[in-house]
Amino acid sequence: MRPKNSLRALHTILLVIAGIVSVAPDLYSGTLTVSTTSDSGSGSLRQAILDANAMPGDDTAQGT
């Protein structure tokens, strides 16, 4: 492959990757379940908020 063609192919690949990465955060949104009244630990509202802040996208906390 000639250098000019290699650069064009690299540019195209980088554009495709950038497009995929820009859409990816929306794929990670989810629902977090609050299952305990404890102040901290797994299933607590505090942990659900911490988890939601650590993940990209819009998240929902749901109580059970």
pLDDT in tens, 1-54: 577 888 888 889 998 888 777 765 556 678 889 999 999 999 999 999 999 998
Give the count of domains, the chain. 1
Rounded Cα distance between 7 and 43, Å, is 50
pLDDT score recorded for residue 4: 81
The alpha-helical segments, DSSP class H, found in the chain are 3-23, 45-54
CA 33 – CA 59 distance, rounded (Å): 11
- Rg (the chain; Cα; Å): 20
Domain that holds residue 18: 3-63
pTM of the model: 0.54
